[in-house]
Amino acid sequence: MSTMTYREACKQAIRQCLLEEPRAFMMGEDIGDYGGCYGVTKGLLAEFGPGRIRDAPLAESGFVGAGVGAAMGGMRPIVEIMTCNFALLALDQLINNAATLRHMSGGKVGVPLVVRMATGGGRQLAAQHSHSFEGWFAHVPGLRILVPATVTDARHMLRTALREADPVLLFEHVFLYTMEGELDDTVKAVDIDKAAIRRPGKDLSILTSGNTVWKSLEAATALASDGIDVEVVDLRVLRPLDDETIMASVKKTHRVLVVDEGWRSGGISAELFARVCEQAFDELDAAPMRVCTAEVPIPYPKHLEDAALPQPATIAAAARQVLGRSGRMPRA
């Protein structure tokens, strides 16, 4: 085990990809001299040169589309978008092209494109830099949606993603970049199919991803002191969802709480509810609940931002509520 920041893990992942794969290159805004808006690519320009650490103008649709074309042309682009909020400027290329071309061409054209972007709130960046769109992108067939929450996942997911034949979008939570964590040196590769159990438990399953994995673990610690044993499932892959791991957890605990930094209405939380109902309804001992971001653009002041986002205390309270519902739906 060694200690590393999440930011450093992201950077080492990129380095490894560029060292191993001659067709890999990076493209994005201010990733060169500036070192990336969250400092992930600092130093890479000196190591790999401007051909492979390619600063792009402020033209998200243009350079994401160039990534699509370069991938079609045999390269392995890693495109960085500053935040997922700016990715909305590239929706045409991400959805109409990257996600669609393989099918539309009858399988003739593949787009092995990796796009990394920051997501999430908590740094008082207000309503155009703080939203979480990973659940939204998970709606689209043809895309694979990854949400690395741990240093180990940040270190290793990218490499697996770069070997995919189809587009992969990675969402790195802004709050996690400065997080120090243990890097498991024995891990040399991470799959991008399976959810991971971050804390095993028997009373309640929390299904979550990204920064709320850590908030959920904090809530679980608090609940443990009251004898409540929570299982925290880090979904890691929002598309395709790992139904197997999710349902196995539900069958073990019989209670579900979904925690999602996306908005509640029409979000991935609703999708998780639906799947649990479709696949494991009879296993439920209580109606599931969810803690999501309040249905408001993220406000700037800290107290309002904190109130808008899922927090350990609100997660713990919701968990108690789900457990308190036991008995309303007695098991036959």
Partner 1 sequence: MSADDATTLDPDDARRLYEQMVLIRRFEERCVELYGQGHIRGFMHLYDGQEAIAVGMCEALIPEDGIVATYREHGQALAKGVPPGEIMAELYGKQEGSSGGRGGSMHIFDTNRFFYGGNAIVAGGLPVAVGLALADKMLGRHRVTVCFFGEGAVAEGEFHESLNLASLWRLPVVFVCENNLYAMGSALHHDEAGTDVAARAKGYAMAAQQVDGMDLMAVLQAGRRAVNMARQGAPVLLEMRTYRFRAHSMFDAQSYRDKAEVERFKQRDPIPGFFRFAQGLGVLDDSDLDVIEGRVRRVVDDAVAFAAAGHFESVQTLLRGVVAERPAHLSTTGNGGVA
231 in Cβ contact with 205 (< 8 Å): yes
Tell me the window of 70-78, 126-134, 203-211, 300-308 that interacts with partner 1 (CB under 8 A): 70-78
For residue 257, give the 3-state DSSP assignment.
strand
13 in Cβ contact with 161 (< 8 Å): no
56 in contact with partner 1 (CB under 8 A) = yes
111 in Cβ contact with 74 (< 8 Å): no
Helix axes 6-20, 151-162, angle to 10 degrees: 20
Question: Which of 72, 265, 237, 240 is CA-nearest to residue 141?
Answer: 240
Minimum distance between the CB of residue 181 and partner 1, rounded to whole angstroms? 15
Active site residue 60: yes
Minimum distance between the CB of residue 294 and partner 1, rounded to whole angstroms? 30
63 in contact with partner 1 (CB under 8 A) = yes
Minimum distance between the CB of residue 107 and partner 1, rounded to whole angstroms? 4
Of 29, 80, 129, 254, which is the active-site residue? Answer: 129
Cβ proximity to partner 1: between 142 and 312 the closer is 142
* Interface characters, 138-177, with partner 1 (x: CB under 8 A): ---xx-x--------x------x--xxxx-----------
Q: Is 185 left (phi over 0), alpha (psi -120 to 50) or beta?
A: alpha
Active site residue 139: no
35 in contact with partner 1 (CB under 8 A) = no
Of 8, 29, 60, 172, which is the active-site residue? Answer: 60
Calpha distance 22→143 (Å, rounded):
24
Beta strands in 9-94 (DSSP E): 24-28, 53-55, 76-83
* Interface characters, 104-143, with partner 1 (x: CB under 8 A): xxxxxxx------------------------------xx-
102 in contact with partner 1 (CB under 8 A) = yes
64 in contact with partner 1 (CB under 8 A) = yes
- Counting other chains too, the contacts that 219-226 makes at CB distance below 8 Å and 24 or more residues apart are 219/312, 219/313, 219/315, 219/316, 219/319, 222/312, 222/316, 223/316, 223/319, 223/320
**Cis geometry, peptide bond prior to residue 240 (ω within 30 degrees of 0):** yes
Minimum distance between the CB of residue 39 and partner 1, rounded to whole angstroms? 25
Instruction: Catalogue the active-site residues.
Output: 60, 129
Judged by the rule CB under 8 A, the positions of this chain that interact with partner 1 are 23, 25, 51, 56-57, 59, 61-75, 77, 92-93, 96-97, 101-110, 141-142, 144, 153, 160, 163-166, 187, 189-191, 193-197, 234, 236, 245, 248
